[in-house]
Amino acid sequence: MAKDDKKEKAPGFTLKTPKGTKDWEGKDMVLRSKIFDTITEVFKRHGGVTIDTPVFELREILAGKYGEDSKLIYDLKDQGGEICSLRYDLTVPFARFLAMNPTIQNIKRYHIAKVYRRDQPAMTKGRMREFYQCDFDIAGVYENMIPDAEALAIAVEGLTAVGIDDFTIKVNHRKILDGIFTVCGVPEADVRKISSAVDKLDKLPWEEVKREMTDDKGLDADVADKIGEYVKLRGSTELLVKLRADEALMANESAKSGVSDMELLATYLEAFGVLSKISFDMSLARGLDYYTGIIYECVTSASAPPLVSAASTENGEKRKSTKKSANEDDDVSEFVGVGSIAAGGRYDELVGMFSQSKKKAIMPCVGISFGVERIFSLIKAKEDMAKIRGSHTQVYVMAFGGGKEWTGFLPERLSVASSLWRAGISAEYLYKSKPKVRQQFDAAEKVGAPVAVILGQDEYGLGKVKVKLLGQGDASDDGTDVSLDELAEHVKSVLAKLN
Amino acid sequence: MAKDDKKEKAPGFTLKTPKGTKDWEGKDMVLRSKIFDTITEVFKRHGGVTIDTPVFELREILAGKYGEDSKLIYDLKDQGGEICSLRYDLTVPFARFLAMNPTIQNIKRYHIAKVYRRDQPAMTKGRMREFYQCDFDIAGVYENMIPDAEALAIAVEGLTAVGIDDFTIKVNHRKILDGIFTVCGVPEADVRKISSAVDKLDKLPWEEVKREMTDDKGLDADVADKIGEYVKLRGSTELLVKLRADEALMANESAKSGVSDMELLATYLEAFGVLSKISFDMSLARGLDYYTGIIYECVTSASAPPLVSAASTENGEKRKSTKKSANEDDDVSEFVGVGSIAAGGRYDELVGMFSQSKKKAIMPCVGISFGVERIFSLIKAKEDMAKIRGSHTQVYVMAFGGGKEWTGFLPERLSVASSLWRAGISAEYLYKSKPKVRQQFDAAEKVGAPVAVILGQDEYGLGKVKVKLLGQGDASDDGTDVSLDELAEHVKSVLAKLN
C-alpha cells in the first residue's frame, strides 16, 4: 500500500511548506524560544496568567472586527457542521472568551500563539501568513489610564529585556484623532475610512495618503490639507501642551477628553520611568476597527519603510526597496522595513460586541502585542549565532576498548545513560554497538556536550568509569575515575562548577 | 461604526468555541503547562531539539498517509492559491521537513503542538477536535533497535515524571502482525484492512472484530478464528520464546525477522531498566498506514473502554457507558476510557514517500507521542487543585493612609512596582488612586502574593517602606522597615527564605 502511494504521488506534488509559512529549526528556533521565554518572564512579573484559545473560531465571531483587513482572514472549508476561520489575532478570541465567562471581572492575561493572515508575503518581506503574536492584555473596570500606562511599561520592559534599546513608542488616542477629523471637516460617516488612510503614513509619504483621501475616498483637498497639518505633530509632553492650547481642537469634546487622558497617562509613564521612550504622534491611526482609546506602536530604525523612489511611487507601486536591482543579500532584505515591533491599544467595546443580553457587558480592555518574529530578525543580526547551542546535552557516554573480547559495552552504556537520566542529567551515547573512539568524540563535540563519561574495557568491570571534561583543547585533563554508585552526584558537581 | 456592528450581529450568532475545541484557563492551564514543562525536560535530557512546523500543510503532503482516518482531516477553504489542510499529527510534517532538508542526516527532535481531527467529540469523551501532541522522534540510520528502545525508555520516563506509575506499554511489531496474517491465510491485498479491524480490539470485544473481518471485510471465518488465537497472546519475554518456538510462524520471513527485533529490543529495554513496564501484545495493530516496525501504546487502568453491555452491543452501539442512566458526574465521565496515553512506532518509509528523486531517500524514524490532554485528566484527578496558584505574583505594593492630605500614593506605587520589576521581581498593585487598606489585602490574597510592600503616609516621605509577609494568619508580623534603595535586595532575600 505504502509503495503504491509513493509511486502515484511522487511526481505530482511540490515539496514545500505553504506560501507565507516556514519551518523553524536549529539555532533560529533556540533563539526564538529564548525571546519567548524572556517576554513570558516579563508578563509573569506583571501578574499575568495565560489562557489558550482554539486556533479557529466560528466565522461570525471574527466578522466585523477588522475593518478593511477582514479579507485577509483564512476560512476553513465547509465539511459539514460549523463554519470556522483561523484566528486573525489573539485579541478578538480573548474578547470572545471574556464574553463567554462573565464571572471573570478582571484578568491580566498573556497569550503567545500563532495567528493567520492571507497577506501577500512577497510584497512585505518578513511578513508571514503564519506568525506568532505575544500578547498581554488587562481587562477590567479600573481607574482611567492606569492599565494603559502599565501596558506601555510592559512594552518598554519587554523590548529592553530581549535586548532592543533603540526604540520609540508612538502613542496616539482615537478620541483625539476623531476630534481632529471632525474639527478639520471630515463628515462623520467618513471618519473610519479617512482614519485608515492616515494609518498608511508609516508606509507612504503624505502626498500619497492625501491622494487616497481625495481621489479614492472623495475628501475635499482643503480638508485633507488641514488633516495634514495635524498629523505632522509629534513630540513629548510639550505636544500635549500645544494641543491643550489649540482652542479649535479643545472645543471638540472628544479631542478634549483624549488630551486629558494623554496628560494623565504621561504622569503615570513618568512614575514608571518610561516617558523618555514615548513620542505622542498624531500620525498614528492603527487600522483595526476595535480600538476606542489610547493606541501605540513601537518602532526602531529598522522599522522604517524602504526608500520609495519617486518613479515607482508614481507607478502606484508601494514599498519597493531601491536595492531591488542590486544583488540583494537575504539577511539584509529581512531588515528592510520590518514595521512596528510591538503595538496595541485600548478596546473598551469589543467584549460588549459579543454580549447577547440587551444590557451590553462592559469590559474595558487594553493590550500590547509583541511582533516576536520581527524582534527575532533584529536580535539575530546582533547575536553571535555561533555561540548558540542547539541541544542541552550535558554528558556523552562513551565506551573505549578493542580486541577480540571487546563487546562495545552497548547495554552497559544504556544502563549508565539511564542512571544519569534518572538523576535529571541530559545524556547521549552513540547508537552503535561497537563505536570507534574518534566517532564518539566527534559526536560529543557536535552536540557540544561539556562532559564525557567513559566506560573503559578494564575499569568498568571494577565498577568504575572515567569522567572527563571536553572542549578543553590541549589542556585536556586525563579524567577522574569515579565509581558507578557515585557517578550521578559527581557529574552534577562537575556541571555545577562549569556553570 | 462599532455600535452599528453590535446591533446587527448580537442576535445572529452563538457565543461558543467551535465543536470539539475549548479554552484552557485558570488552574487547568497552569497544570497543563506544568505537564508540558516536565515532558520537555525529559525530551531535552535525551538530547532532543525542537522544531516548529506550520499548522497547515499542502493537502497533498497529508494525502495517503492516514488510511481510513484521512476522512478526519480538516481542509482550508480554497480562497485562491494553494490547497491546504490542518495537520493531523506532528509526524507527517516532521517527515516532510526531513525530506526538504536532506543535509539533516540525523536528528532527535521534539515538538509540542496542536493537531486537528474532525472526529465525533461526543462519541469518545475526552477526545477533542483540537488537541496537543507531544512528540519525540529519532531519525537517522542507526543500528537496529537502539533508538526504538530509547523511545520506549522516554515513554516510561515521561509518564513517570508527570506522576503516572500504573501504566503498561503494549508493544507489537508490524512484521510479526503481517506474518501472522499471512500464516493464518489472509490474502496479501487484505492485510491492511484486516489489520485495521484488529486495531479496534482495544475498544471492541473479539466477537465484534471477527464480525467486521468476516461480514464487512469478507474474510473466511476459520481464517478469522486462527487470527483470534494469535491476537490473544500477550506477555513479557516468555511470549517471545513462545513465538520463536512456533514453527509455522517462524517459517514466515517477516514474522521471524520481527521476533528477532523484539528479542534484541528486550535486551536493550532491560539495560534501560524499563522491561517490567512492557507487555508484548499481539492484539496491538495501530491504525496508521505509515508504521513499518515496532509499534506501541501506553495504557493505564483508566485507558480501558467503558463496559459494553451485551444488549447495546447487539444493537450495534459502541462504547456506551453502563453508567449512562445514572446521574453521571462530569469529572467521572472524563475518565471513562481515556484511551492510550502515549503511543508510537517505527516508520522507515514515510520520509521516502516525499522523496522526488528516483533514488528514494532512506531516513528510518521511530517516535513516541504523549497524549498530554488525556494525561492531564488523569493528573487532575490526583492533584490537589486548591494548592495550584494561578499567577506568579510575589509582591503586592500597597499604600496606607487617610485624611485630607492623603493622595493615595499612586505614582509612588507605580514607581516602587517598576523598581521591583527591574530587579526581576513580580509585583502588582491596585489600579485605583485611593484604595482602601482592606481592598488591597483582599487583592493580594486573591493572587496569592506572599509579600506586601507598604507605602505608609509618613514613612514614605522618609524614603522608607514596610515589607510584610502575607498569609501568616494571626502569627502575622508587623513588617520590617526598609529603605527604598535596599528594597529590591531585601525582598529578594525574603522570597529566597520563603522558598
The verdict on B26 touching A (C-beta cutoff 8 Å) is yes
Q: Which 370-409 residues of chain A touch chain B by CB within 8 A?
A: 390-393
Among A65, A76, A439, which would you mutate to test the B interface (most chain B Cβ atoms within 10 Å of its Cβ)?
A76
Share of chain A above pLDDT 70, in %: 87
Asked if the Cβ–Cβ distance from B54 to A130 is below 8 Å, we say yes
Q: Closest Cα of chain B to A185: distance in Å?
A: 18
**Largest interatomic CA distance in chain B:** 98
CA dihedral B314, B317, B319, B325 (to 10 degrees): -100
Contact list, B431 vs chain A (CB under 8 Å) = 138, 140, 142-143, 146-147, 150
Other CB atoms within 10 Å distance of the CB of residue A245: 9
Q: Dihedral sign, CA of A121, A126, A132, A137?
A: negative
pLDDT over 50 at A431, yes or no: yes
Q: What is the mean pLDDT of chain A?
A: 87
Phi-psi region of B403 (alpha: psi -120 to 50; beta: other; left: phi over 0): left
Q: Is residue A427's pLDDT more than 60?
A: yes
Reported ipTM: 0.87
Going by pLDDT thresholds of 50, 70 and 90, the confidence category of residue B321 is very low
CA distance B120 to B257: 39
Question: Which range has the worst mean pLDDT, B80-84, B122-126, B182-186?
Answer: B122-126
Cβ contact, residue pair B22, A421, below 8 Å: no
CA dihedral sign, ordered B99, B104, B106, B112: negative
How buried is residue B139: exposed, middle or buried, by Cβ count under 10 Å (0-12/13-18/19+)? buried
B103 touches chain A (CB under 8 A): no
- Give the count of beta carbons closer than 10 Å to the beta carbon of residue B39: 24
SS3 (DSSP) at A435: coil
Contacts of B418 in chain A (CB under 8 A): 153, 271-274
B64 CB within 8 Å of a chain A CB:
yes
Predicted confidence at residue B305, as pLDDT, reads 54
Handedness of CA B422, B427, B432, B438 (dihedral sign): negative
- Please check whether residue A43 is in contact with residue A107, taking contact to mean a CB–CB distance below 8 angstroms: no
Contact B425, B395 (CB under 8 A): yes
Q: B130-139 and A294-300: which strand pairing? A: unpaired
Find where cell 524582534 sits.
Answer: A375
- Evaluate if residue A475 carries a pLDDT over 70: no
Give the model's confidence band at B48: pLDDT under 50 very low, under 70 low, under 90 confident, else very high: very high
Q: Are B462 and B419 in contact (CB under 8 A)?
A: no
In chain A, what residues touch B451 (CB-CB under 8 Å)? none
Mutation choice for A interface testing from B16, B30, B56 by most A CBs within 10 A = B56
Mark yes or no for CB contact B11/A356 under 8 Å: yes
pLDDT at B390: 83
- Could you write out the DSSP letters of every residue in A193-254? HHHHHHGGGGTS-HHHHHHIIIIIT---HHHHHHHHHHHT-EESHHHHHHHHH-HHHHTSHH
Lowest mean pLDDT among A193-202, A213-222, A448-457, B450-459: A193-202
pTM for the complete prediction?
Answer: 0.88
Spatial separation of the C-alpha atoms in residues A62 and A47, rounded to whole Å: 28
Q: In what order do the strands lie in the sheet with B365-370?
A: B49-50, B107-116, B130-139, B365-370, B342-346, B294-300, B167-173, B278-281, B234-235
Give the Cα separation of A442 and A446 in Å (integer): 6
**Can you give the pLDDT at residue B449?**
95
Which pLDDT belongs to residue A12? 64
Cβ neighbours for B276, distance < 8 A, ≥ 6 positions apart: B236
Question: How far apart (Å, rounded) are the C-alpha atoms in residues B296 and B133?
Answer: 16
Widest CA span of chain A, in angstroms?
98
CB pair distance less than 8 Å for A428 and B47: yes
Residue B57 region by backbone torsions, left for phi larger than 0, else alpha for psi between -120 and 50, else beta: beta
